[in-house]
A and B are shown apart, each in its own frame.
Chain A
Amino acid sequence: MNRFAGRLLKNRKQTIQVGIALIFVVMIFIGIFYAFFILKHDPYLTNLSGRLQSMSLQHPLGTDHLGRDVFTRLLLGGQQTIGYSLLALVTAVSIGVPLGIIAGYKGGIVDRLFMRIADGFLAFPDTIVAIVLVGLLGPSISNLILAIILVKWVNYARLVRSTVLSEAQKEYILIARINGLSAGKIMKKHLFPHIVGHVLVLASLDLGKIILLISAFSYIGLGAQPPMPEWGAMLNDSRAYFQSMPELMFYPGLAIVSVVLITNMLGDYFRDRFDVKKEVNQ
């Protein structure tokens, strides 16, 4: 614990950054739970007589073009955007990591088969694949999540495979084999600790990208469908009122930007924290 704290304090600027990021994360979670438990307004309740209101005590961030409370929708939208992004990320990681470990450690035909499949996915830019999949399956948030999982798992599998490949040749793995450890045990005890850091770094950087992807797809109508409150979809809804009420676009935009910034800050922090080479040099 002391060593951890020491390393944490070595870089003061970063400590402050991480502190801010963590405060934001806590705030977001409080906000989301707040939205979950004590909704003051129904996020779906339209009120055409009270549409496009500006800030008031009743509606802290005003109301949108259908008279719905913007603040409530913003919180609920965060729940959707972040929740779905985490779901996509966790699923992609839990598919990619085991497959990568197995391919890297087993080698041979398993590995070659796996690599060809991965190459197939990587041959197309992931946005294109996602658009095609959503286009084929029909626009909905669940199809979008499915598409994101399908394009993202490959990155994890390849990252893990290359790490495992370089470790599996080292003597300590040979000794583990001599000691009669099964392949499963070797993967779990000896190889898994090597990939946790790498995966955590990639995942925290990916979270921002996935949030952007979901928002972007919802913005062009391929993701969340109305009336579901989702930040990208909210941006799209407010587009028509940009000149009369620009703040309607400003709130979800600011929400997306700050969440993506936070995940990137955390990603940078994890990268520095798990940089083994740096650790050895110090």
Chain B
Amino acid sequence: MTLLAVKELSKTYRQGSPVISNITFDLNKGECLALVGESGSGKSTLARCLLRIEQIDRGKISLNGSALEQLSERQLKPFRKNIQAVFQNPAASLNPKLKIKDALLDPYEQYKSELNLAHFSYPSKEASVNQLLEAVELPTSLADRYPHELSGGQRQRVTIARAISIEPELIILDEPTASLDVISQDAVLRLLTDLRKNLNLSYLFISHDLAAVNQVSQRIMVMKDGQIVDQFEQEHLLAEDRHAYTKELVSTF
């Protein structure tokens, strides 16, 4: 079943050539779809367009069949709770002035009246925070800390906890492991896969790291100069009929 359908999406910044053009793809419920490409290929711009924090020029975005591309910020609000995001730099993704427990419940406090949660329950603030920290395998003692007292991997787990707290249908992961060391990278990737299965989430996993992509995703899209040049099932990554650019990416690993 299609969760997110994107059709001919284009975006041009004020001057110059389009950053992304004619992006078309479907994301199915429950899957992890990867988007691979080198830096500057437009991956993050696509993510921001899908999150509607960047204006789009042309194209269609629909979530569960409802068109999002024309909606104003106010009309968008009921859909916002279905899409969450995790960004590359966990240090910038957490407000340095807020304790972990205060940052974690932002989405929940915003949407609590409209949520219908299957996995999490929110009896009290403290219990909710502990429950979320446990879900991402962090000690509950971190609740009272500030972000700068945590390691990079711990911070990224906190942002993941915040993203899953309202059990969204889709999480856009924009290079979630790029700023982590190899060991925390592996741990975070495994955590993400477990969470997806347990909470019935879908991911759009954006990365330049083919190894990471190969580990977590079922389908892979390859992006070059703002266009999707190749799209295939994960097990066909090494097949002969791959696009020349995909082969080039593979050969660098």
Contacts and interface: CB of A to CB of B under 8 A. Distances in A.
Nearest to A193: B97
Interface stretch (B87-95, B122-130, B219-227): B87-95
Given A178-B51, A179-B110, A180-B110, A170 B92 contact: yes
Contact of A171 (B80, B87, B106, B107): B87
A276 interface: yes
Nearest to A276: B96
B148 A179 contact: no
B106 A176 contact: yes
A175 B80 contact: no
Contacts of A194: 97
A172 B48 CA distance: 14
Given A171-B89, A172-B92, A172-B93, A280 B84 contact: no
Contacts of B51: 174, 178
Contacts of A172: 92-95, 103
A177 B53 contact: yes
A174 B106 contact: no
Interface in B138-161: 148, 159
B97 A174 contact: no
Could you say which of A175, A180, A193 has the most chain B C-beta atoms within 10 Å of its C-beta? A175
A194 B110 CA distance: 22
A178 B170 CA distance: 13
A178 B83 contact: yes
Given A171-B87, A171-B89, A174-B53, A180 B81 contact: yes
Contacts of A180: 77, 80-81, 107, 110-111
B98 interface: yes
Interface residues of B, number: 26
Contact of A181 (B96, B97, B98, B110): B110
B85 interface: yes
State which size class the interface on A falls in. 10 to 19
Contact of A175 (B85, B97, B98, B148): B85
Contacts of B97: 193-194
Interface in B23-64: 48, 51, 53
B110 A175 contact: no
B95 A178 contact: no
A46 B221 CA distance: 91
Interface string A179-194: 1110000000110011
Contacts of B111: 179-180
Given A179-B110, A193-B97, A174 B80 contact: no
A190 B95 contact: yes
27 contacts: A170-B92, A171-B87, A171-B93, A172-B92, A172-B93, A172-B95, A172-B103, A174-B87, A175-B93, A175-B159, A176-B106, A178-B51, A178-B53, A178-B83, A178-B84, A178-B85, A179-B80, A179-B84, A179-B106, A179-B110, A180-B80, A180-B110, A180-B111, A181-B106, A189-B98, A189-B106, A193-B95
Given A175-B106, A189-B106, 8 more contacts: A174-B53, A174-B85, A175-B87, A175-B159, A180-B110, A180-B111, A181-B110, A194-B97
Interface of B: 48, 51, 53, 77, 80-81, 83-85, 87, 89, 92-98, 103, 106-107, 110-111, 148, 159, 162
4 closest residue pairs by CB, A with B? A193-B97, A179-B107, A171-B93, A171-B87
